[in-house]
Amino acid sequence: MKNYLRIFLLLFLFSHISIVEAKENCAPEFELAKPSSIIQSADTDSSEKSVFIYFDQSLSMQGYTKDQPGQNNLYINVIDDLQQIAENVGTKTYYHSFGKSIVPIQENKISQVIKPSFYECTSSAADCNNQESKIHLPFKMAETNPDSTYIIVTDLFLSSKQLVGGTLSQLTKPLKSILKKGKSVGIIGVMSSFNGTIFDIPTRAGGTVSYTEAQKRPFYIIVIGDQKEINQVKKNLEEQHFNNPEDQYKYSLITSTPILQNLNEKELITENNIKDISKAENFNFDFLKTLPIYKFDINKKSKLKFRVKNSEIIVPGSTGVSQFTIKESLWSSKEIRCKKINDGDWRQAKLENISEVTQGDEELSLELFKNTPFSKLFRGMRYFYVVNIYADKPGNLSEEIFKDWSIRDSDAEEFKDGNPVEFKTLNLTKIIKILNSVANEEFQPTLIASLALNFNLLK
């Protein structure tokens, strides 16, 4: 009986604390929006992690291993250091080649990867591992052991028939599973010298041709795992190999959680997020639990804008967010002095579409009371306004990042006939779009920030 009484008293106490908090902040009773769950990566100790590296052994990769006069061979330099980079991510590294199948590579044989002989085969074509590039195989391995980090080195030169039907599902199915577990996929594109043959270039007639005149061509390092490890690999590559302004590289992060954080959870919102609001008459800034409340007096001609930098809410290098939405509520009271307002004095308005959210290149802006300006409100009253900002739809920034390195099947022959020195990657944009599409399916609308305005509209 005593336990039941104790529980009742605690519930009664907490409910009244909430009411007291609302009264002290001159606020009506309402429920705070619950922060969305943002899963980005597990805090697994790197000492417990394994790293699996897969090298594309298809014959077109051989051209990266031969120096091209006058061109920087980043492929050989990067592969030489990949073993050290892997040690910064985990304690044990396992090496493999992949083509038609996955084949383990002994650690003392890794140096062979940067030699032309690694990509040659003296057996019949049916027994060679350099005739295909089944990139879905490493993804499938990553699905079975998601707590490890996977690094795939490839030219990503995939034909359209590899990106449809059952072949496509072999890639998207494990990718979906990987993203569901909070993991991400980082794609680092590196423009390197090339001195070899590019095979399987589609023609308009339906066959394929080869090309030997390319001097430069991008290769790709795909990292599957926690964002922390992906960023570590990217950072190491930048520091060790991309110091020359002439070095060309691109980066994108494929993730179903492009949101970095909720600004309320760590009370990151300050009075400075609304420019010059602190100069308003009777200004005060405080928190109701994690909800920031701007309290002030204002006139009908005033305009307010809440701003936050994109870098504070969006994961760097990710697809970003293409659409934000807001949920808002407005209350009013005829009593302008907070201390005299009782719970029953607040009246909730039926107004909708009060403010407007927009995203620029550098920041997210919320134009407060843009669609329902202060001039349309009754003067001589106190108002309490709550707005919740949600990321509603992921973006496609990564597709734009890699767009100029991509060539479609239908344009490949004409592109080749132009004798390009720098050869593009077949269907790269389509590949990125497919990866983004899977990530978008797993995306959930995410609460970015909540804030409240408590203001007296002057006569």
User: Is residue 353 included in any domain, yes or no?
Assistant: yes
Mean pLDDT of all residues in 52-56 = 95
Window from 33-42, 69-78, 327-336 with minimum mean pLDDT = 33-42
Number of independent structural domains in the chain: 2
Q: Are 143 and 238 contained in the same domain?
A: yes
Separation between Cα atoms, residue 315 and residue 427, nearest integer Å: 26
Is pLDDT at 63 greater than 50 in this prediction? yes
Window from 11-15, 63-67, 126-130, 219-223 with minimum mean pLDDT = 11-15
pLDDT at 13: 36
Structure-token pair, residue 257: 């959680």
Q: Are 128 and 214 contained in the same domain?
A: yes
Q: Return phi, psi of residue 33, to 5°.
A: -65, 140
pLDDT at 11: 39
- For residues 391-403, b (16+ Cβ closer than 10 Å) or e, as one string? bbebbebbbebbe
**Per-residue confidence band for 369, with pLDDT thresholds at 50, 70 and 90:** very high
pLDDT at 374: 94
Residue owning tokens 């701003």: 307
Q: What is the pTM of this model?
A: 0.82
pLDDT at 15: 37
- For residues 186-219, b (16+ Cβ closer than 10 Å) or e, as one string? bbbbbbbbbbbebbbbbeeeeeeeebeebbbbbb
Q: Are 173 and 295 contained in the same domain?
A: no
Separation between Cα atoms, residue 210 and residue 197, nearest integer Å: 7
Q: Are 96 and 213 contained in the same domain?
A: yes
Q: Are 54 and 95 contained in the same domain?
A: yes
- C-alpha closest to that of 385 among 375, 377, 395, 397: 377
Domain that holds residue 249: 46-254
Report the helix count and the strand count for the chain, using DSSP H and E.
Answer: 8, 20
Q: Are 206 and 349 contained in the same domain?
A: no
Q: Are 128 and 230 contained in the same domain?
A: yes
Structure-token pair, residue 100: 């038609």
pLDDT at 16: 35
162-177: per-residue pLDDT in tens? 888 888 888 899 999 9
Cα four-point dihedral sign 233, 235, 240, 242: positive
Between the CA atoms of 178, 184, 190 and 196, what dihedral angle is there, to the nearest 10 degrees? 0
DSSP string, 295-314: EEEE-TT--EEEEEEGGGTB
Is pLDDT at 231 greater than 50 in this prediction? yes
Residue owning tokens 């009773």: 29
Query: Which CATH number goes with the domain that contains 128?
Result: 3.40.50
Q: Return phi, psi of residue 254, to 5°.
A: -90, 115
User: Is residue 37 included in any domain, yes or no?
Assistant: no
User: Is residue 39 included in any domain, yes or no?
Assistant: no
pLDDT at 164: 80
User: Is residue 416 included in any domain, yes or no?
Assistant: no
CB count within 10 Å of CB 158 equals: 22
130-152: per-residue pLDDT in tens? 788 889 999 999 998 888 999 99
246-282: per-residue pLDDT in tens? 778 999 999 888 999 999 998 999 999 999 999 999 9
71 versus 161: the higher-pLDDT residue is: 71
Task: Indicate the helix (H) or strand (E) that contains 174.
Answer: helix 165-180
Residue that terminates a domain, selected from 209, 231, 254: 254
Mean pLDDT of all residues in 324-341 = 90
Are the C-beta atoms of residues 139 and 151 closer than 8 Å to each other? no
Q: Are 333 and 229 contained in the same domain?
A: no
Mean pLDDT value across the chain: 87
**Per-residue confidence band for 47, with pLDDT thresholds at 50, 70 and 90:** low
Q: Give the percent of the chain with pLDDT over 70.
A: 92
User: Is residue 3 included in any domain, yes or no?
Assistant: no
pLDDT at 151: 96
Q: Are 276 and 247 contained in the same domain?
A: no
Structure-token pair, residue 157: 């030169």
205-229: per-residue pLDDT in tens? 889 999 999 999 999 999 999 988 9
Q: Are 100 and 245 contained in the same domain?
A: yes
User: Is residue 276 included in any domain, yes or no?
Assistant: yes
User: Is residue 249 included in any domain, yes or no?
Assistant: yes
Q: Are 249 and 380 contained in the same domain?
A: no
Structure-token pair, residue 125: 């074509």
Q: Are 71 and 202 contained in the same domain?
A: yes
User: Is residue 202 included in any domain, yes or no?
Assistant: yes
Residue that terminates a domain, selected from 209, 228, 254: 254
Residue that terminates a domain, selected from 230, 254, 278: 254
289-314: per-residue pLDDT in tens? 999 999 999 998 899 999 999 999 99
CB count within 10 Å of CB 19 equals: 11
